[in-house]
Each structure stands twice: as C-alpha cells, then as structure tokens.
C-alpha cells in the first residue's frame, strides 16, 4: 500500500492544475454564463492530451492510466463543472470503445477522440428510461451490410460535437440490447436544442433523434446481445469521471469556504475565529479527504479490472458517496458565505449549482446503493 503519488502522477496533476488555474479559471464564469466552452480552452486541453489520458499511446492517448485521469479531472472539475462533464462523457464513450472495440474501431475512433479532434458521446438514456436498460426502445434492423437505427435518446452529453457515439439499441432479429458506434451527424441524425440545466454549464446536453440512420455492420461494438455487459462496464468506468467531477467540486467548496472565512471580518476579525466556522471547515476537509481517496483508489482499480461485476460495485459505491458528498460540501460552503453564497458574484454559488447534478446522473444515487447492496448480499463471505 503506497499513498504517495509517483513522479508521473505528480506531473499529470501539476500539468492539469496549472492549465486549470491559468487557462480555465479566468473564463469559468464566462463558461457558466454563456454555456459554451471557448475554442481556445478545448484546443489547449487537446494539446495537453487531456482528452485521452487513460488510453494507450498507439490509440492517440497519453498512457496515463485511469489513476492519471482522476488526478487531472479533479483539477479541471475544481474550476469548471461544465468542462468536467464534457471530459467525463467523452472518456466514458472512449472507454467503452477501448474495452470492447476491434483493432480497426479503436484506430478509427480512438485516435481522433484522444486527440480531441472529435468529442465522443455515450447514448443510453431514452425518454422512457434512465435507470432500466430493459426498457430500451431504440431499434436496430440489419439491412445488408448495415444496421438501420431508429429511436430517440435523451440527455446525451456532447451530442452536438462531431465524433463517435456509442449507442444502445435493440437488435430486432435477436431482440437483444446491442451496442453500436455511430458517426454523429450521419444522415438521419439530428439533435434538439440544448437542455437548459441548473449547473455544469458549458457541458452540452441534448436529445438525439435517429431516423433511419445507417450504421455499417462493422460498427457493431462487441457482439449482438452484448449490450448489457458493455453498458455495465462502460458506465462503471464512466463513474470514475462523474465521481471525480464531484471530488473537484468538493475541493472547490473547501477552498472557497476557507478563503471566505479568512477574508470576511466581524468586529475587525476574520469569521475564521468562530468555532462554528472552524467546525464547518473541518467537515469540508473530511468530505474532501474521504472522496479523494475513494476516487484515487477507483482510478487505480480501473487500470487492471479482473472482475467487471466487482468493479461495477466498487464504482457504484464511490459514485453514491461522492455524488451526495459534493452536494453536502457545497451546501456547507454556502453556509460559511451566508447570503453572499447565493450571489452570482461568488464562485460558491456556481459550485453549488454544479454539485446538485452529481447524484442524479449516470444512475441516480439510490440505484448505486442498490448495486452495492446486491453485491454484498450476493457474496458468501
């Protein structure tokens, strides 16, 4: 057991921290207000390989492992929940292609993805289901060398960007849920206006309409009927991103509250002198440290998954904890600010709005707890 960062891990963390502070923090408020990530920020992230950290160099990645991804994501998420959301959904899509794709699929879709020429999506949710894959209604019908996809996907991150989308549909000959790689903007692909969500602005969320979209049969991801295992592992890997986005928010809450406690004065002295404030700062530190080690450990576990079901339960536990934890942390940090914490002029107001998203995505918090409980109750030990 070694809790020290390696030289490579420290470098990734430092690189992401410097980029976040110099290039994202100054425009974080603008991203929130305009709900758009500036091109130069995306270009800067691409240059630093921030869109391909966990993946092998031969597929365009930085070979930094999921442990490196967690360290970088924490720093990015600390300053912008919207960019963290974009990065997390992209890495989720790439993670599924990396785990289940053929050599040709990896070369074709991962290289432009890791180099951020493309921003990748992962489309599971539909208007009728967000937590229950059995209710998927999107269809895939084989026609010669193609599958014809029809259906609507709801709340799909990054659906507006060009690139690959891992999409789940019911293959009609077998009746089984199956995964495909679709080129966004293929004929018959269209999107809604972006959803106006409470936080994580800049992270784009759209509905996707597929009307007779032709997907080459070569773009089947895995095998026919392998949709559930791909979804299970893909989403488990995706929870590394959402959990660490929450970790970054927790760090932001700790830092903003500490800064405010030192700066705000009452009767000529900083409010940090009040024990009630000190207790809140300690609670925030505890929340940050617990989430931090859970996320770092999950990143390390993801580098060498032996049992996908066990990893999915680990990821569910971390996601359940970090999702609720960041909401509590942001709430405490708002308290430290008093009424000022509710004002747009203060960063904590944005951190709070971003935080509230965490428990509701990639499987709501209650569903995560059910996965954890079922894994414990099934095991004999």
Ligand X SMILES: Cc1cc2nc3c(=O)[nH]c(=O)nc-3n(C[C@H](O)[C@H](O)[C@H](O)COP(=O)(O)OP(=O)(O)OC[C@H]3O[C@@H](n4cnc5c(N)ncnc54)[C@H](O)[C@@H]3O)c2cc1C
In the complex with ligand X, the residue whose CB is nearer, 14 or 375, is 375
Name which of 158, 136, 160 is nearest 149 in CA terms.
136
DSSP 81-141: HHHHHHHHHHHHHHHHHHHH--HHHIIIIIHHHHTTSS--EEE--BTTBSS-GGG---EEE
Q: By beta-carbon distance, which residue lies closest to ligand X?
A: 130
Cα–Cα distance, 188 to 175 (Å, whole number): 23
Q: Measured from the CB of residue 191, what is the shortest distance to ligand X in angstroms?
A: 13
In the complex with ligand X, the residue whose CB is nearer, 218 or 366, is 366
Name which of 48, 49, 26, 50 is nearest 38 in CA terms.
26
Q: Measured from the CB of residue 59, what is the shortest distance to ligand X in angstroms?
A: 21
Cα–Cα distance, 88 to 240 (Å, whole number): 8
Sign of torsion over alpha carbons 254, 255, 256, 257: positive
In the complex with ligand X, the residue whose CB is nearer, 157 or 347, is 157
Q: Measured from the CB of residue 250, what is the shortest distance to ligand X in angstroms?
A: 18
In the complex with ligand X, the residue whose CB is nearer, 285 or 364, is 364
Q: Given 126, 256, 349, 362, which residue is catalytic? A: 362
Helix runs in the chain, H state only: 7-19, 28-34, 39-47, 65-79, 81-100, 103-105, 111-114, 227-263, 275-302, 308-337, 347-355, 365-378
The contact set with ligand X (CB under 6 A) reads: 85, 89, 121-125, 130-132, 155-157, 197, 200, 205, 357, 360-364, 366-367
In the complex with ligand X, the residue whose CB is nearer, 341 or 358, is 358
Q: Measured from the CB of residue 182, what is the shortest distance to ligand X in angstroms?
A: 13
Annotated active-site residue 362? The verdict is yes
What single-letter DSSP state applies at residue 22? I
How is residue 375 written in tokens? 């894994």
Q: Measured from the CB of residue 33, what is the shortest distance to ligand X in angstroms?
A: 18
Q: Which residues are catalytic?
A: 362
């Amino acid at each position: 057991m070694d809790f020290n960062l390696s030289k490579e891990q420290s470098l990734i963390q430092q690189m992401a921290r410097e980029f976040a502070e110099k290039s994202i923090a100054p425009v974080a408020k603008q991203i929130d207000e305009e709900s758009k990530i500036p091109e130069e920020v995306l270009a800067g992230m691409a240059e630093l390989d921030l869109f391909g950290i966990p993946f092998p160099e031969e597929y365009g990645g930085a070979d930094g492992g999921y442990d490196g991804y967690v360290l970088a994501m924490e720093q990015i998420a600390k300053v912008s929940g919207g960019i963290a959301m974009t990065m997390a959904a992209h890495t989720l899509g790439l993670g599924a292609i990396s785990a289940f794709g053929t050599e040709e699929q990896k070369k074709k879709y991962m290289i432009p993805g890791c180099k951020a020429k493309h921003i990748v999506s992962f489309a599971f949710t539909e208007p009728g289901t967000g937590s229950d894959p059995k209710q998927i209604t999107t269809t895939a019908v084989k026609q010669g060398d193609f599958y014809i996809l029809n259906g609507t996907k709801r709340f799909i991150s990054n659906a507006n960007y060009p690139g690959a989308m891992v999409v789940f549909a019911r293959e009609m000959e077998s009746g089984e849920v199956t995964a495909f790689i679709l080129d966004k903007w293929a004929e018959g692909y269209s999107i809604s206006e972006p959803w106006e969500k409470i936080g994580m602005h800049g992270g784009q969320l759209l509905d996707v309409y597929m009307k007779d979209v032709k997907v080459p049969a070569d773009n089947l991801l895995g095998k026919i009927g392998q949709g559930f295992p791909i979804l299970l592992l893909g989403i488990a890997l995706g929870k590394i991103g959402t959990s660490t986005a929450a970790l970054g928010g927790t760090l932001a809450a700790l830092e903003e509250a500490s800064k405010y406690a030192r700066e705000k004065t009452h009767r000529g002295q900083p409010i940090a002198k009040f024990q009630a404030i000190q207790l809140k700062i300690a609670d925030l530190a505890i929340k940050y440290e617990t989430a931090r080690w859970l996320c770092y450990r999950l990143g390390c576990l993801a580098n060498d998954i032996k049992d996908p079901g066990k990893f999915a339960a680990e990821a569910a536990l971390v996601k359940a904890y970090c999702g609720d934890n960041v909401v509590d942390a942001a709430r405490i940090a708002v308290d430290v600010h008093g009424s000022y914490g509710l004002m747009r002029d203060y960063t904590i107001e944005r951190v709070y709005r971003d935080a509230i998203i965490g428990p509701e995505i990639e499987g709501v918090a209650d569903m995560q707890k059910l996965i954890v409980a079922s894994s414990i109750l099934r095991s004999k030990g």
